[in-house]
Amino acid sequence: MRRENFNKDEAKKHIGNLIENFDKDLLKLKKSSESYEAQIEDIYVKPLFSFLNWNIHNSGLPHGKEVFVVQYHIKKIGKRPDYLLRVPDINIGKMKHILFMEAKHPRYDLFKDLKYIRQCYLYSNSTLCKTERPEKRVPLSLLTDFEEFRLFDCRDSEPLIKNKLDLFNRRIVKGVDWKYHDYIDKFDELWDLFEYNQVCDGSLDELRVTDSDLIESRKAPDYVFLENLKDYRKILAQSMYNIDNNLSEEILTSASQLLLNRIIFIKMLADKDLESDYLSQIIDTVNSSGKTDI
């Protein structure tokens, strides 16, 4: 089946119709159950990208060449964003990952809901590691419920560390912090940034992350992780020393490092779905009990 491509005027007309329908349905949508979220994606979010010439059903594309990937698994954190958008890169002969998209129910305020903003931001930030292949580093995350459309540059780990709304909001890209009427009011910008062929031609490439970017910023997750490990090792060694101050420095160093190695290994198995996430279960148990000595 041939997939329809839209020129700019056609796309603007169809997106205008989407906005009109959304206007009529908005109050009803906000009162609908959370289980209706998938239908909202099908009725509004996916068609928006279809009119921007994204092959949302991957029609006619071979396995491994899909451009609109549903529930892509990020192994490092064991999470699945709603969508991953990617395009073929003829220079390397591989699919280049462009952005993650998290679609939510319109009942949520995506300008203020820290939980979903953080979730969306974490997806991309977790891929910005020196150990990840360059074409799979995803600096951009889009948070939308069609009513709101927020594009984040997720290279800076500070918002995740401090978990403050204003720090996340400072990472909005190029003023792409829209309400749904902006799809028409700022249609040229929407088309120039997000239309499939524009993206293939590099409309978002200036935000790609290179090895030198990671080294220079020193804010990539793997670098932050290494810095955190140093602090954790000191905390563990101090805790052991408080229990037994006869332990030598050599034993404290070895024991704290061994414990960290085992914790990391257990977490790695969970992230790769090889074992249950025992560490998170322990944390949940501690948090629900209110105790700190479990």
Shared domain check, 203 and 257? no
Give the integer Cα–Cα distance in Å for 194 and 245.
Answer: 61
Instruction: Give yes or no: residues 41 and 73 share one domain.
Output: yes
Q: Are residues 166 and 202 in the same domain?
A: yes
For 16, counting Cβ atoms within 10 Å of its Cβ (0-12 exposed, 13-18 middle, 19+ buried), the class is middle
- In order along its 294 residues, the chain shows pLDDT tens digits of 446 789 999 999 999 999 999 999 988 888 887 667 788 899 999 999 999 999 999 999 999 999 999 999 887 788 899 999 999 998 889 999 999 999 999 989 999 999 999 999 999 999 988 778 889 999 999 999 999 999 999 988 889 989 999 999 999 998 899 999 999 999 999 999 999 999 999 999 887 766 665 555 545 555 566 667 777 888 888 888 888 888 888 888 888 888 888 888 887 777 666 777 777 777 767 766 665 554
Which of the listed residues 196, 214, 232 is the one where a domain comes to its end? 214
Question: By three-state DSSP, how is residue 64 classified?
Answer: coil
Specify whether 177 is located in the same domain as 228. no
Same-domain status, 15 and 131: yes
Q: Give a yes or no: residue 2 inside a domain.
A: no
| 39 found inside a domain | yes
3 domain residue, yes or no: no
d(C-alpha 239, C-alpha 224), whole Å: 23
Residue 244, in any domain of the structure: yes
**Residue closest to 196 by CA, chosen among 70, 88, 38:** 88
DSSP element (H, E) containing 10: helix 8-31
On whether both 253 and 208 belong to a single domain, the answer is no
Identify the bridge partners of residue 151 per DSSP, sorted by sequence position: 142
Give yes or no: residues 128 and 35 share one domain. yes
Q: What's the rounded Cα separation, in Å, for the pair 147 and 159?
A: 24
Contact present, 45 and 103 (Cβ < 8 Å): yes
Measured CA to CA, the distance from residue 283 to residue 36 in angstroms comes to 31
Q: Which of 214, 237, 256 is the last residue of a domain?
A: 214
Structural domain for 34, as ranges? 8-214
Same domain flag for 89 and 183 = yes
Phi-psi region of 78 (alpha: psi -120 to 50; beta: other; left: phi over 0): left
Whole-angstrom distance, CA of residue 32 vs CA of residue 226: 45
| 82 close to 65: Cβ distance less than 8 angstroms | no
Q: Say which CATH number the domain at 152 has.
A: 3.90.1570
Q: How many domains does the chain have?
A: 2
The pLDDT of residue 218: 44
Residue 196 shares a structural domain with residue 88: yes
Give me the residues paired with residue 179 across strands.
Answer: 148
Question: Bridge partners of 17?
Answer: none
How many residues make up the chain in this entry?
294
Say if pTM beats, i.e. exceeds, 0.85.
no
- If phi > 0 it is left, if psi is from -120 to 50 it is alpha, else beta; for residue 66 that is beta
Residues 204 and 232 in one domain: no
Domain identity same for 225 and 176? no
**Do the domain assignments include residue 68?**
yes
Where among 155, 188, 214 does a domain terminate? 214
Asked if the structure places residue 80 within a domain, the reply is yes
**In-domain check, residue 117:** yes
- Position 294 in a domain: no
281 and 169 both lie in a single domain = no
Separation of alpha carbons 84 and 74, rounded Å: 10
The pLDDT value given to residue 227: 67
